[in-house]
Structure 1
Amino acid sequence: MDYNYPIRHDWSTAEMITVVAFFEAVEKAYETGILKEQLMDAYRGFKKVVPSMAEEKTLDKEFEEASGYVSFRVVKAAKGALGGEMIKGVRR
């Protein structure tokens, strides 16, 4: 993929890495599938950096516009999945 991840320049390097890891997990869900636990671990890290729901929605929208992947959908699927289940993203 040839696009930029939505990041904020006031984040530390560690925070940027954490956010990028979450978006990479979303990509993996769409491209090959990802275990629920892996996705939710990445999401929990993301939420430590981005606790605000409003900011999360803004970043999700920026990521969707750049990549075509919808992080909200895969997180919602993971929250409703059983442990050990593969999560796959579905394009519209």
Structure 2
Amino acid sequence: MNYSYPLNMDWTKEEIVTVIRYFESIEKAYESGIDVQELKKRYREYKQVVPSIGEEKQLGKEFEAASGYSPYQVMKLVKNTTTSTIKMRP
């Protein structure tokens, strides 16, 4: 990883950790695969920190621009999957 996560400096340390864990889960979905329930849990926690859809989209775009990994595409797959794990195709 040679990029930084999009973070808001107004967040608490715990909130920053929650957001980082979510983005790490997105990375894991691309790199090795991830359990769908684990990813859904991380997303629910993330939405407690970032409840605004507009802010979620902005952070997702920033993360994708930096990493090449799309949170939107991962969550779209999770929403429509019938399997217990997912792995994104590059």
TM-score by length of 1: 0.93
Residue 90 (structure 1) shift: 2.8
* Aligned match of 1:4: 4
Which ranges in structure 1 are unaligned for 5 or more consecutive residues? Answer: none
Structure 1, residues 23-71: CA drift from partner, whole Å, max 9, x if none? Answer: 0000000000001001111100110000000000000000001000000
TM-score by length of 2: 0.95
Which ranges in structure 2 are unaligned for 5 or more consecutive residues? Answer: none
* 2:53 is aligned with 1:50: no
Question: What is the percent sequence identity of the aligned residues?
Answer: 48
* Aligned match of 1:88: 87
* Aligned match of 1:69: 69
Q: Distance in 1 between matches of 2:56 and 2:20?
A: 13
Give RMSD over aligned pairs: 1.0
Provide runs of 4+ in structure 1 moved above 2 Å.
Answer: none
In the comparison of the two structures, how many residue pairs are matched? 90
